[in-house]
Amino acid sequence: MALVVNGQAIETDEEGYLANRSDWTEQVATEMAKIDNASLEPNHWEVINFLREYYEEYQIAPAVRVLTKAIGKKLGPDKGNSKYLYELFPYGPAKQACKYAGLPKPTGCV
């Protein structure tokens, strides 16, 4: 899949996830969202930044429950649920948000 940022091609897998996590920049995330016809608002960034911090510490994306709890604390209890996350990331919060955050796709029965 072609991902070009600042005239530079960035390697991704078949589904658009970064091949190298170190290639990630905020601009990469913005370009990935453009491919899906989405634009990233401050609330998207709250999720993306939390995912990146969590990954840095644990080498895996957080469980959906951990994510909703953290977002609820930051953005208010009405937003701390998976329904709200689906509104932000309609292709599924775990997968779409991980992609924009430059993390590998969660595997398994998820």
Partner 1 sequence: MGDFQTPPLRAYPVIPPIEVGAMAHSKPFTAKPDQQQALGFPGTLVENWEQVAVDRLGTLVAKSRALQVFLDSCVKCGACTDKCHYYLGTSDPKNMPVARQDLLRQVYRRYYTFAGRYFPKLVGAKDMTKEVLDDWYSYFHQCSQCRRCSVYCPYGIDTAEISMAGRDILDTVGIGQKYSNEIIGKVYTVGNNLGLPKPALRDTLDGLEEDVKDETGVDVRFPLDIKGADVLLITPSADFFAEPHIDGLIGYAKVFHAAGISWTLSSYASEAANFSIFIGSHSNMQKVAMRIREAALDLGVKRIVVGECGHAWRVAYSFWNTLIGPFDFLDRNYPIPQHICEMSHDLIKRGAITLDKDANDDKIVTFHDSCNVSRASRMGDVPGGQFIIPRAVINASVNKFYDMAPQTIHEHTFCCGGGGGLLTDDLIELRVKGAQPRMQALQHVVEEYGVNYLAAICAICKTQFSKVLPYYHFERDMIGSVHALVSKAIRLGAVNE
Site residues (CB under 8 A) for partner 1? 14-15, 57-60, 62-66, 69, 82-83, 86, 92, 94-95, 106-110
CB of 86 to partner 1, least distance (A): 7
Please confirm, yes or no, whether 98 is among the known catalytic residues.
Answer: no
CB-CB neighbours of 58 under 10 Å = 10
Q: Of 31 and 92, which CB lies nearer to partner 1 in the complex structure?
A: 92
Q: Of 4 and 109, which CB lies nearer to partner 1 in the complex structure?
A: 109
Quick one: how far is CA 58 from the chain centroid? 16
Sole residue written with tokens 């401050």: 42
Indicate which residue of 19, 74, 109, 110 is catalytic: 109
CB of 67 to partner 1, least distance (A): 10
Sole residue written with tokens 């920049």: 25
Q: Of 34 and 65, which CB lies nearer to partner 1 in the complex structure?
A: 65
Contact 97, 86 (CB under 8 A): no
Measured CA to CA, the distance from residue 26 to residue 4 in angstroms comes to 13
Q: Which residues are catalytic?
A: 109
